[in-house]
Amino acid sequence: MEGFLIGLAAVAFGSLFWPVIAKRNSVWAGWCSAMVPLGIFLWLLTQGGAIGAGSFPKWSVEWVPQLGVTLGFRLDGVGLLLSLLVTGIGSLILIYGGGYLKGSPQAPPFFAFVHLFMLAMLGIASSDNLLLLFVFWELTSLASYLLIGLSHQESAARKAALRALLVTSAGGLALLAGILLLGAEAGTYSLVALQNSGDLIRNSSLYLAIFILVVLGAFSKSAQAPLHFWLPDAMAAPTPVSAYLHSATMVKAGVFLLAKFLPILGGTEIWHDVLTTTGAVTMLLGGLLALAQVDLKRLLAYSTMSALGTLVMLLGLGTELAIKAAMVFLVVHALYKAPLFMIAGVVDKAVGTRNITLLQGLGRPMPMLAFAAALAAFSMSGLPPFVGFIGKELLYEAQLNATSYAVFITVLGFAANAINVTVALKVGISPFRRRGTIPEINPKARKPALLTGPLLLALAGALFGLFPNLLGHGVIDMAVRDIVQRPIESHLKLWHGLNLLLVLSGVTVVVGVLLYLFQNRIRAGMHLLLERVPTASKTFDAGVQGMVSVAASVTRFFQHGNLRLYIAVVIVSLSAIITASLVSTGWSGPPQGGPMRLVPLGISLLTVFSGIAAIRSRSTVMAVLAMGGVGYGVALLFALFGAPDLALTQVLVETLTLVLFSLVMRALPPIESQTRSSGRRRITDFLIALAGGLAITATLLAVRGAPIPEAQRISTEMAARSLPEANGKNIVNVILVDFRAFDTMGEICVLAIAAIGVAGLLLGSGRRNLKAELVIATPLFRTAVSWLTPLLLFLSVFILFRGHNEPGGGFIGGLVAGSGLLLRRMGNADHPFHAPRTPLLFIGTGIAVAVLSTLPSIFLSEVFMKGVWVGALWLPLVGITKFGTPFLFDIGVYLVVIGVCLLILTRLIRSETPKSLSFP
Amino acid sequence: METIIILLTGFLFTCGFYLLLRRNITRLLVGILFISQAANLVILVLPGLGSGVSPIIQEGQTAPPPGYPDPLPQALILTAIVIGFGVIAFALVLLKNAYRDLGTDDLDSLKNTDV
C-alpha cells in the first residue's frame, strides 16, 4: 500500500509542480506528468493478484482519534476498478490536456486542479474511513468547481461552476449527515467493519434516514434526475475536463459510493425501488434530452446522464448478474465516452464548431481520428466485436432477469440503448462522413498528444471485446465479489449463441439507425416539447433566485439603516427581558442601605437638574455643559462615598472630555431646529427611554435587596493581603497594578489602540494644515502656562509615586501630566513642544515598560505578574516607598496615559477649518 | 442612601436613552456619556456605598478602617472611566469626520452604508 500512498503524494505534489512546467510548455508538461498516474496504474495492476486472493493492501494511522477519524486506506476490488479508471484515463487526459490547452492561459490552472482532482478520486477509491472518504468527496466537488470555471471570464462558465458546486456540495452535506448517523448507529466509520454489520444497520430505526441521506449524496454527484441539470451545464469546462470529470470519473463516484454501500444498505425493498426507479427515469430522460441536442459535448453529456441512470438502476436491482453488468458497463462506458469527448474537442479545434448539423467531411483530412471515432462509436452502439456489445448483452440479461418489473425495465433499457446508437452515430460517424466540400483543418488540431488518448482507449475497447476475460477474470470478478460479498466466477463471452439477447441487440441497432435518419424531425419535436415543460435547470435557478430575494428582504427588514430605530429596538427588548426575569424571580425585599446623608442628596439633585438641562437644551454648548455638570456631580459622589481615586480620575477625564467636545464642536453646526423631532415622536422616545430607565432601576433595587455581605466580597482577601504581600496601602491601586495587573495590561492596550485609531481618523485632516492650529496666544495664558506646565508635570510624578499608598497612581498621574503638556502645546503652537511622533513614543515606551515589568515574575515566581520587590527608598514629600515590579508597571501605565492624551488632543487641535481663537 | 443613588442612576439612564434617540449626532454622543456615567454608578452602588471612608490602610494599621467600601468595583470603575475617555474621543472624531464628509448631523439622513 505504501507504493499507492507515494503515488498519492506524487499526485498532490504534482498539482503544485506541473503548473510551473505547463506555463513554459504545456505539451511537455502533459507527457511528463502522465507518467505519474501511469506508474500508479502499473502498480495497481501488480496488486491485482493479491486482491484477487483476498489480501487487500491497507495502511492506516490515527488522525483525529477523538472523532474516530483515521487515515485509513484499503483497496478492494471496486476500489481497484475505480483507481484503474482514474489513473489510466487520467494519464491519457493529461497528455491530451497538455496538447489541447497549448499556449492557453488555462493550462497551468488546469494542471493544478486536475491533479488535485485525481488525488481526491484516488482518495475516494481507497478510503476505508468514511469521514476520510467524505473529505475526498468534497475535494472532488471543489476541484470540479474550479475546473468548470476555468474560463472564468465567461459568465456562463461561472454560473455553471456555481450550479455544479451548489448541487454537489448540498449532496455532500447530506452524505456527511448520513455518514455521521451511520457512525453513531454502528459505532465505527470503517467501511469494512460497516460492510460486515449490514444487518445491524438494515434493522436500525435510523435506516431510512441514513438511506435517504447517503442516496442523496450519491445521486447529486452522479447526476440522477432531478439533480441532473448541473452535468450538461458543466460542459462549459474545457473539453479535457469534460472528458475526465464529467464522463469517466467524477460522476462515477456516486455509483462507486452506492456500490460500496450496497452491502451496508442494500437488499431492502426501498433500496431496490428507489434506485431502480430513479435510475430508469434518469436513463430514459437523459436519452430523450440527448435527442434534442446539436452540440457534440451536450449530446455526450446527456448520454452520460443516461449511462449513469443505467448504472444506478443496475445497482438497484442488486442481483449478482446486475452487479456484474454494472461493473462491465462502468468500464465500457469509460472506454467509449472518454475518447468520444476527446474527439469532440479535437473536432472543435479543427473546424471551430461542435454543431453536428454543420460538421461533415472530416474523415479524409483526419483519418486516424476518424478511425478512433468509429471504434468508439461502434463500441457505444454495442456492435460486436467491441466490448460495448458484451456490456449491452449483460445489460439486457440483467434487466430480463430482474426480480420485478422485468419487462418494464427492459423496455426502458431498450429505448435508452437505441438512443445510444443514435448518439454514437451522430458523434462518432456523422462528422467524418463527406456530404459536401472537405473543410479546412486548423493545423493546431493535428498533434500526437490529441490523438493518443482517443486512439488508445478506442483500441482498448476493441481489445477487451475480442478478449473479454482479460477484463472479466481480473478486475470485474474482484469488484463484483467485493460488492456481493461472496466469491464468484464469471465468464464474459462475445458470442452467446443465437438467442433472445442477440435479437434484442439487433433490433436496438436498427431502431437506433432509424432514429438517426429521422434526427431532424425528432429534434424539432423535442424542442417544441422542451419549451413547454419547466426544466430542472430553470426550476433550480428560480429556487436560488427566490432564496436570495427572501434573504434580501429579511435583511432589509432587520438592517433598515435607521440608527434610532435600532436603538429603540435594543432598549425596548432590553426592558422586556429585564422585566420578564424580574417577574419570574420575584421581589426579595426593599433595598438595604446605609443612612441618608444630606450632602450626597444635594449633589444628586444638582446632577438631576443637569440631566434635565441636557435634555431640554436647544444648543450644543448647553448640552455639553450640562453633561459636564453630570460628570462633576458623579465625581463628587465618588469622593463622598469613599472613592478618592475615582473622584480624581473622573474630574480629570471630565475636564479633558469637555476640552475635546469644545474642540470638535467648532467643526459642527449648532443643534438646529430643523433636526428637531415632532412632538409625538418626542413623547414616544421619552416613553421608550423611561421604560428602559425604569427597568434598570427596578433591577438595581431588586439586586440591592440581597447585597453581598462584606465577608463574602472577593476583595476581602485582597484587602487583607494588600499591605503584607503587595506593600501597598491604597487597595484600589494595588488591585490595579498587582492583583489584577493583567487586566490593567489589557486595558492600557485598548486605550492605546483607541488613541491610535483616533490619530488614524484624523490623519487626513491633520497633515494638510499643520500651521492652522488652535492657539490661545494671549500673553497671560502664555505666562501662566510657562509656570503651570512644569508644576503639573511635577505634580503628576508626585501622584504617580504616592499612588501605591495614597490616592493617586499611574492613571491619575498620567492624566495630570497629559493636561500639563496639552496646555503648553495650546499656548505655544509656533514652536511645537514635541515632534509629531512623540505621543506614539510615549505610548510605545509605556507598553514596553509594562511588558518589561512582567519579566521578573515569569522567571522568579510561578504567578504571572506577581509583584517582585527589590527594596525601599526615602523620597521627598512621599516618604519611604518600596520599589518593585508593580511600581514599574504603574510607570508604564503613566506613560501610556500621557501618550494617549497627547495623541488625541493634539491631533484634534489641528483643524482643517480653523476658527482662530487667538487674541493678538 | 443607596435607594437615592439607584434612582439617580435610573434617571441618568433614562436621560441617556432619550438622548440616544435624538436626531442630532452630538446629542447621541452626550447620551453615550450619560449612559457610561450611569453604568459606573451601577458598579459603585451595587456592593453598598459605605460610610464615606476610603479603602486605604491608615498609617500604622494593617487593615483598612471598618466600614470601608469594596475596592474591587472602584478599580473596575477607574479603568472604565479612562477607557471611556478613549472611546468618546474616538466617537467624537468619527462624528467630526462624518459631518465633514456627509455634510449633515441628522441621523435620519444617514441611512446608507456607502457615500
pTM over 0.80: no
The residue of chain B with its CA nearest to that of A643 is B54
Mean pLDDT over each residue of chain A, to the nearest integer: 87
Q: Report the distance separating Cα A23 and Cα A585, nearest Å.
A: 72
> CB contact, 8 Å: A729 with chain B?
yes
Nearest one of A305, A338, A297 to A459, comparing CA atoms: A338
Chain A positions in Cβ-Cβ contact with residue B70 (cut-off 8 Å) = 713, 715
In this prediction, residue A1 carries a pLDDT of: 83
Instruction: Give B-chain residues touching A714 at CB under 8 angstroms.
Output: 72
Section A90-105 average pLDDT: 93
Are A697 and B97 a contacting pair at CB < 8 A? no
Confidence tier at A282 by pLDDT (50, 70, 90) = very high
Query: Which residues of chain A have a CB within 8 Å of the CB of B69?
Result: 641-643
Closest residue to B64, CB basis, from A612, A731, A806: A731
With an 8 Å Cβ cutoff, are B48 and A805 in contact? no
Selected residues 568-597 of chain A with any CB under 8 Å from a CB in chain B: 568, 571, 591-597
Is the pLDDT at A168 greater than 90? The verdict is yes
Nearest CA in chain A to B26: A620
d(CA A723, CA A734): 9
Report the C-alpha gap between B45 and A641 in whole angstroms. 9
How much is the pLDDT for A418?
93
A897 within 8 A of A914, measured Cβ to Cβ: no
Which residues of chain A have a CB within 8 Å of the CB of B19?
Answer: 614-615
Pairing of strands A69-74, A58-64: antiparallel
Burial of residue A413 (CB within 10 Å: 0-12, 13-18, 19+) is buried
* The C-alpha cell that represents A416 in the structure block: 435508452
**CB nearest B10 (choices: A694, A732, A900):** A694
A646–B78 CB contact, under 8 Å? yes
Contact assignment for A689 to B53 by CB distance below 8 Å: no
A722 chain-B contacts, CB cut-off 8 A: 57
Contact A737, A758 (CB under 8 A): no
Contacts of A571 in chain B (CB under 8 A): 17, 20
What pLDDT was estimated at residue B91?
87
> Which tens digit of pLDDT belongs to each residue from B63-105?
888 878 888 999 999 989 988 888 888 888 888 877 877 777 7
Q: What is the helix (H) or strand (E) element at residue A58, kind and residue range?
A: strand A58-64
Give the tens place of pLDDT for each residue, A718-761: 888 888 888 888 889 999 988 888 989 999 999 999 888 888 87
List A74's β-bridge partners, or say none.
Answer: A58
Q: Which stretch of A39-43, A55-59, A308-312, B10-14 has the lowest confidence by average pLDDT?
A: A55-59
Question: If you average pLDDT over residues B24-48, what whole number do you get?
Answer: 89
Residue of B nearest to A753 (CA): B86
- Structure confidence at residue A918 (pLDDT): 42
Q: Which long-range contacts (CB under 8 A, 24 or more apart) does B90-94 make?
A: B90/A754, B90/A757, B90/A758, B90/A761, B91/B29, B91/B32, B92/A660, B92/A661, B92/A664, B92/A908, B92/B29, B93/A664, B93/A758, B93/A761, B93/A762, B93/A908, B94/A761
Please choose, from the candidates A856, A843, A857, the residue with its C-alpha nearest in 3D space to the C-alpha of residue A899: A843
Strand partners, A129: A190
Range with lowest mean pLDDT among A461-465, A551-555, A672-676: A672-676
Other C-beta atoms within 10 Å of A199: how many? 10
For A817, list phi and psi in degrees, rounded to 5: -60, -40
**Which ranges constitute the DSSP H helices of A363-475?**
367-381, 387-400, 406-424, 448-466, 468-471
Judging contacts by C-beta atoms under 8 Å, the chain B residues touching residue A651 are: none
CA distance A511 to A519: 12
Asked if A643 is an interface residue toward chain B (Cβ–Cβ < 8 A), one would say yes
> Contact B99/A624, CB-based, under 8 Å?
no
pLDDT recorded at residue A674 = 56
Beta strands A879-884 and A69-74: pairing type?
Answer: unpaired
Helix, coil or strand: residue A403: coil
| Residues contacting residue A468 through CB under 8 Å, at least 6 positions apart | A387, A390, A492, A493, A494
Interchain CB distance below 8 Å, B74 and A646: yes
List residues bridging with A127 in a β-sheet. Answer: A73
Is residue A773's pLDDT more than 60?
Answer: no
Judged by average pLDDT, the poorest of A417-421, A548-552, B106-110 is B106-110
Contacts 24+ apart (CB under 8 A), A197-202: A197/A264, A198/A263, A198/A264, A198/A265, A198/A266, A198/A267, A201/A264, A201/A265, A202/A265, A202/A267, A202/A268
Burial string for A49-84 (b: 16+ CB within 10 Å, else e) reads: eebbeeebbeeeeeeeeeebbbbbbbbbbbbbbbbb
Residue A326 CB neighbours (<10 A): 31
Q: Using one digit for the tens of pLDDT, what is the confidence trace for A646-656?
A: 999 999 999 98
Contacts of B60 in chain A (CB under 8 A): none
d(CA B75, CA A643): 10
Percent of chain A at pLDDT exceeding 70 = 95
CA geometry: angle A204, A310, A274, nearest 5 deg: 30
For the stretch A580-638, pLDDT in tens is 988 888 776 777 777 788 888 999 999 999 999 988 887 878 888 899 999 999 999 99
Buried b (16+ CB within 10 A) or exposed e, B63-85: ebeeebbbbbbbbbbbbbbbbbb
Residue A488 in grid coordinates: 464468484
Grid cell for residue A271:
433500496
What's the gap between Cα A215 and its chain centre?
24
What does A648-695 look like in DSSP terms, one character per residue?
A: HHHHHHHHHHHHHHHHHHTTS----GGGPPPHHHHHHHHHHHHHHHHH
pLDDT digit string (tens) for A211-255?
Answer: 999 999 999 999 998 888 899 888 889 999 999 988 888 889 999
Shortest distance, CA A626 to any CA of chain B (angstroms): 9
pLDDT of A916 reads 43
Contacts of A914 in chain B (CB under 8 A): none
Compute the half-sphere exposure of residue A394: CA atoms within 13 Å on the CB side of its CA. Answer: 31
Peptide bond into A914 cis (omega under 30): no
CB A346 within 8 A of CB A244: no
Per-residue cell: A503: 435479437
CB–CB of B27 and A671 under 8 A?
Answer: yes
With cut-offs at 50, 70 and 90, classify the pLDDT of residue A914: very low
How many Cα neighbours within 13 Å face the side chain of A862?
0
Dihedral angle computed from the Cα positions of residues A68, A74, A79 and A85, in that order, rounded to the nearest 10 degrees = 110
C-alpha cell at position A121: 478520486
Q: Rounded CA gap, A441 and A365, in Å?
A: 7
Higher pLDDT, A804 or A256: A256
Angle A416-A418-A423 (CA atoms, 0-180°, nearest 5)? 90
Residue A477 has pLDDT above 60, yes or no: yes
Flag if A731 and B57 touch (Cβ within 8 Å). yes
Which pLDDT value is given to residue A219?
A: 95
pLDDT for A494 equals 74
pLDDT digits (tens, 9 = 90+) for A326-357: 999 999 999 999 999 999 999 999 998 999 98
Minimum Cα–Cα distance from B87: chain A residue: A754
Q: Read off the pLDDT band of A913 (50, 70, 90).
A: very low
Confidence of residue A30 (pLDDT cuts 50, 70, 90): very high
pLDDT at A479 over 70: yes
Q: What's the confidence (pLDDT) of residue A544?
A: 87
Q: Which has the closest alpha carbon to B17: A574, A406, A546?
A: A574
pLDDT surpasses 90 at B22:
no
User: What's at A291, amino acid-wise?
Assistant: L
Q: Pick from B45, B83, B94: which is nearest to A761 by CB? A: B94
The shortest CB-CB distance from B78 to any of A645, A677, A761 is to: A645
Cell of A177: 449527515
**Residue A895 C-alpha, separation from nearest chain B C-alpha, in angstroms:** 14
Q: Which of A597, A610, A646 to mutate to test the interface with B (most CBs of B within 10 A)?
A: A646
Weakest mean pLDDT among A194-203, A358-367, A550-559, A617-626: A617-626
Over residues B46-62, mean pLDDT: 82
A274: pLDDT confidence band, cut at 50, 70 and 90? very high
A623 CB neighbours in chain B (<8 A) are 26-27, 30
Give the C-alpha distances (Å, rounded to integers) separating A428 from A418, A455, A556.
15, 13, 55
B interface test, pick of A607, A675, A708, A880 with most B CB neighbours within 10 Å: A675
Residue B96 in grid coordinates? 467630526
Best mutation target, B11, B45, B83, B93, to test chain A (most A CBs within 10 A): B93
Is the pLDDT at A209 greater than 90? The verdict is yes
A191 closest CA partner among A265, A100, A114, A109: A265
Contact B17 A611 (CB under 8 A): no
Minimum-distance CB partner of B13 among A696, A722, A904: A696
CB A429 within 8 A of CB A360: no
What's the confidence (pLDDT) of residue A617?
80
pLDDT band at A920 (very low <50, low <70, confident <90, very high): very low
Q: Cell triple for residue B43? A: 458598579
Task: Report the gap between the CA of A856 and the closest CA in chain B (Å).
Answer: 24
Question: DSSP character for A426?
Answer: I
Q: At what angle do helices A387-400 and A500-517 cross, to 10 degrees?
A: 110
Flag whether pLDDT at A763 surpasses 70: no
Of A664, A732, A900, which has the smallest distance from its Cβ to B78's Cβ? Answer: A732
Say which residue, A617 or A894, is predicted with more confidence.
A894
pLDDT of A885 > 50? The answer is yes
Instruction: Give the per-residue pLDDT at A675.
Output: 60
Instruction: Report the range of poorest mean pLDDT among A445-459, A599-613, A694-708.
Output: A694-708
What pLDDT does A146 receive? 94
- Phi, psi dihedrals of residue A910, rounded to the nearest 5°: -70, 125
Instruction: Burial-class residue A712 by CB neighbours within 10 Å (0-12, 13-18, 19+).
Output: exposed
- Cα of B115 to nearest chain A Cα, Å: 13
C-alpha cell at A323: 452487479
